[in-house]
């Protein structure tokens, strides 16, 4: 990966619990000089999900969820106020493309760090470690883990690796059904078109707790992977990565991380794996 230099980190004054979002270059400004975290630009473009209750959800002009709250905190530390954030919908299938095409400066979108993606982009973090699990109808007693999906219909979001992981490692005969968003998978589950939905446990907990799904679904509660959520950055963003990691570390140490997790999963019964969380950010490459 190419390495670049950039300006010094601009630290904004401490604000409220939910602070501003993650740093990047000004719109249209080249990222080749790794200027994303220099601060002081007019706006910062942050890619998030728009359809994940508890993580990244758009409701009118309001954006809520753990990912958006973490993004706000990091961006504040990079010198960007709340009103300087430009939220950009970034679906799973287009995340690498959005970074490569300079459509966003950073991505906070339940973006699991893996080696294949690191060939194309950089990651800061992780800032959270989830576990892949299953969402089923509340009265379903047949599916207790991925091995029970043989011959079943399983929904996941286009571009996600979750369902492919199950097919490769647990149930070769599972029938994969892709939908553009997790809300679409929940609709398919409610109608009986699929038997289960798979993704990370914290996402499933958010879906189950959504008002329109109350009492319909349950999370199996048998996680079978580690999904390390990172901050997606353009390739060559070593200095930006280091500054984002410093902000994540501060967020964990000052207690904000725990408060944000609790605030965004309250009422779901979800408890993060305390052997994996809070995580320690990786060294930047």
Question: Could you read off the pLDDT of 23-66 as tens digits, one per residue?
Answer: 443 433 434 445 455 455 699 999 999 988 889 999 999 999 99
CATH number reported for the structural domain that contains residue 173 in this entry: 3.40.190.10
Q: Which residues are CB-neighbours of 189 under 8 A, at least 6 positions away?
A: 135, 136, 137, 155, 195, 196, 197, 217
Mean pLDDT over 114-121 rounds to: 96
Which range marks the domain in which residue 210 is found? 132-219
Report the range out of 1-10, 12-21, 84-93 with the highest average pLDDT.
Answer: 84-93
Same domain membership, residue 160 and residue 125: no
From 144-158, 213-227, 263-277, the region with the lowest mean pLDDT: 263-277
Same domain membership, residue 202 and residue 259: no
User: Is pLDDT at 20 greater than 60 in this prediction?
Assistant: no
Which pTM was predicted?
A: 0.74
Same domain membership, residue 87 and residue 10: yes
Burial class (CB in 10 A: 0-12, 13-18, 19+), 167: middle
Same domain membership, residue 164 and residue 126: no
Q: What angle do CA 211, 157, 202 make, to 5 degrees?
A: 50
Same domain membership, residue 214 and residue 165: yes
User: Is pLDDT at 130 greater than 60 in this prediction?
Assistant: yes
pLDDT in tens, 213-227: 888 999 898 899 899
Q: How many CB atoms lie within 10 A of CB 190?
A: 14
- Of the candidates 165, 195, 219, which is a domain's last residue? 219
- Of the candidates 196, 219, 242, which is a domain's last residue? 219
Same domain membership, residue 252 and residue 176: no
Band (pLDDT 50/70/90 cuts) for residue 17 is very low
pLDDT at 36: 53
- Of the candidates 166, 191, 219, which is a domain's last residue? 219
From 138-152, 236-250, 255-269, the region with the lowest mean pLDDT: 255-269
pLDDT in tens, 247-269: 999 999 999 999 999 888 876 66
Same domain membership, residue 79 and residue 12: yes
Report percent pLDDT > 70 for the chain. 85
Band (pLDDT 50/70/90 cuts) for residue 208 is confident
Same domain membership, residue 9 and residue 99: yes
pLDDT in tens, 89-104: 998 889 999 999 999 9
Same domain membership, residue 284 and residue 193: no
Same domain membership, residue 142 and residue 16: no
Looking at the 3D structure of the chain, how many domains does it have? Answer: 2
User: Is pLDDT at 10 greater than 60 in this prediction?
Assistant: no
Same domain membership, residue 240 and residue 114: yes
d(CA 226, CA 93): 20
Same domain membership, residue 170 and residue 124: no
């Amino acid at each position: 990966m190419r390495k670049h230099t950039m300006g010094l980190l601009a630290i904004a004054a401490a604000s409220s619990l939910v602070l501003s979002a993650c740093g990047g270059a000004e719109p249209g400004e080249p990222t080749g000089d790794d200027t994303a975290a220099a601060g002081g630009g007019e706006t910062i473009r942050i890619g998030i999900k728009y359809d994940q209750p508890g993580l990244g959800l758009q409701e009118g002009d309001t954006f809520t969820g753990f990912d958006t709250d973490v993004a706000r905190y990091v961006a504040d530390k990079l010198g960007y106020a709340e009103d300087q954030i430009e939220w950009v919908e970034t679906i799973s299938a287009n995340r690498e493309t959005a970074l490569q095409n300079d459509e966003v400066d950073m991505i906070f979108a339940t973006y699991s760090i893996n080696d294949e993606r690191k060939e194309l982009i950089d990651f800061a973090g992780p800032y959270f470690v989830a576990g892949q699990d299953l969402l089923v109808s509340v009265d379903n007693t047949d599916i207790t883990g991925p091995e029970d999906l043989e011959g079943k219909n399983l929904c996941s979001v286009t571009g996600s690796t979750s369902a492919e992981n199950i097919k490769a490692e647990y149930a070769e005969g599972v029938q994969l059904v892709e939908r553009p968003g997790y809300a679409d998978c929940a609709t398919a589950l409610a109608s009986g078109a699929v038997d289960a939905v798979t993704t990370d446990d914290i996402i499933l907990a958010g879906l189950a707790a959504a008002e329109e799904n109350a009492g319909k679904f349950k999370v199996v509660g048998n996680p079978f992977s580690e999904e390390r959520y990172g901050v997606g950055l353009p390739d060559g963003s070593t200095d930006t990565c280091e500054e984002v990691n410093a902000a994540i570390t501060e967020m964990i140490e000052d207690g904000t991380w725990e408060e944000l997790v609790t605030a965004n999963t309250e009422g779901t019964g979800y408890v993060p794996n305390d052997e994996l969380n809070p995580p320690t950010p990786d060294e930047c490459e």
